[in-house]
Chains A and B, each alone.
Chain A
Amino acid sequence: MSTSIRRFLPVLFTAICLIASPLRSFAQDHSADIPVTENVDDTGDLDEHRLAETEEEFNIGEMIMHHIADSHEWEFAHGVVLPLPVILYSPDRGLEVFMSSKFHNEGHEYNGYHLIHGDTEAIVPVDESRTVYDLSITKNVASMILSAIILMLIFISVAKAYQNRQGKAPRGFQSAMEVLILFIRDEVVKPNIGPNYQKYLPYMLTLFFFILVNNLLGLLPGAANVTGNIAITMTLAVITFIIVHINSNKHYWAHLVKPTGVPIALLPIMIPVEIVGVFMKPFSLMIRLFANMTAGHIILLSLFGLIFIFKSLVIAPVISAFALFMNFIEIMVAFIQAFIFTLLSSMYIGSAIEDNHEADHGH
């Protein structure tokens, strides 16, 4: 019984991903359609219009996009906004730093910049010809720094506990973390990377806990969707890619140019496929985490959005119960995705550094 449920879960996650993409396009359709048709005449004061709109007519697509996208300010709840620093670099003006609260609304111009609330937020210069690099501490960056601080506090204190209680049994929080650390070391890194796993263990542990903490933080109300952001997952995947190719041995490269056990006739097509595969691995890492986390957020937000669409007291408890259930699943997904990212990264590294590549194709 429980086995079938467990077997069902991966299917469910895949289903969530699949469901999510039509939902997202649906959401985008709405955000594209309704505001545009209504805002054609007064583009000047979009922000106030948005405010008025939320009171008049609830737009679920816009709400969802607003929550899963990055932002230059941190809105904890409606109206409770923490302004974040905006850092801009342009070749002509150099570094510019100011708070995001300087932008009052869409039409407001500060220092020659507009803050555009489109599909995603962007700071655009009034002078279109200038190139500006936006290095702002956005909501995602702030949340990421917060998670980094949390991780440092947790693990440095755990490390202290190890030093203070040398050789003794773990206690309290230390033992909770130890279970995870040992799991990553013994079940994920050691079997997949092989005997030289020690070198990669710090990176793998950091990777796992960084993704996990950000996944879990993202589930809190009002929090940022860090691991559901393609830039974050891309950076993680690229770091893994670089680590793999710095440490890969000659077997790995040889396998790329001449895959073992492949007929000569197939080589012209197999070599490009293998080379594409090299880039597909980090790409799949990037997409998987991004899609899972974003899809989870979209589902949760859609459920909550339904309450506002139906505007019914009867439907609210049902949806809340379902949302609670989804939240539990999301907590599981948070762990599983962190685990899978770490697992696939270590398998990826393991395949690049293993000595005997022939053993891999034991025909």
Chain B
Amino acid sequence: MDESKSDKWKETSRRTNSYARYSALAFQMLGTIVLFTYGGYKLDEWQQNKIPVWTLVLSLSSIAASLYMFIRSITKE
């Protein structure tokens, strides 16, 4: 009985563990995209571009890069 209890405890902690890891990944992805897009937006504002080139390039490339990182980090296990 004691053993099954500790097993359950371990199981819960493992679940929370993976929840924590994936939420950290999601945060990182989100933050990267937001930061890059904001940087692009500011660059466009500074250069007074008609077409928001930097916003587009940086947001799309940051999405691609963070997706690449995400896939790499979940497949490395």
Contacts and interface: CB of A to CB of B under 8 A. Distances in A.
Contact of A266 (B13, B36, B68): B68
Given A339-B16, A340-B16, A347-B21, A288 B27 contact: yes
Given A273-B65, A284-B24, A361 B76 contact: yes
A269 B20 contact: no
B4 interface: no
Contacts, number: 70
A199 interface: no
Interface stretch (A118-126, A167-175, A275-283): A275-283
A270 interface: yes
Indicate the member of B28, B36, B61 with the most A CB atoms within 10 Å: B28
The range of chain B's interface size is: 20 to 34
Contact of A288 (B23, B32, B36): B23
A161 interface: no
A277 B69 contact: yes
B59 interface: no
A360 B35 contact: no
B20 A343 contact: yes
A363 interface: yes
Interface of B: 10, 12-13, 15-17, 19-21, 23-24, 27-28, 31-32, 35-36, 61-62, 64-66, 68-69, 72, 76
B28 A261 contact: no
A280 B28 contact: yes
Q: Is chain A's binding surface mostly helix, strand, loop or mixed? A: helix
B32 A276 contact: yes
Contacts of B19: 10, 340
Contacts of B12: 6
Given A273-B32, A273-B65, A344-B24, A363 B76 contact: yes
Indicate the member of B24, B62, B66, B69 with the most A CB atoms within 10 Å: B24
Given A10-B15, A273-B69, 8 more contacts: A6-B12, A7-B15, A10-B16, A10-B19, A14-B23, A280-B27, A336-B16, A340-B20
Nearest to B19: A10
A189 B19 CA distance: 17
Given A7-B15, A347-B21, A269 B61 contact: yes
Indicate the member of A277, A280, A287 with the most B CB atoms within 10 Å: A280
A361 B61 CA distance: 23
A276 B35 contact: yes
Nearest to B15: A6
A266 to B, nearest CB: 7
Indicate the member of B12, B15, B19, B21 with the most A CB atoms within 10 Å: B19
A286 B46 CA distance: 30
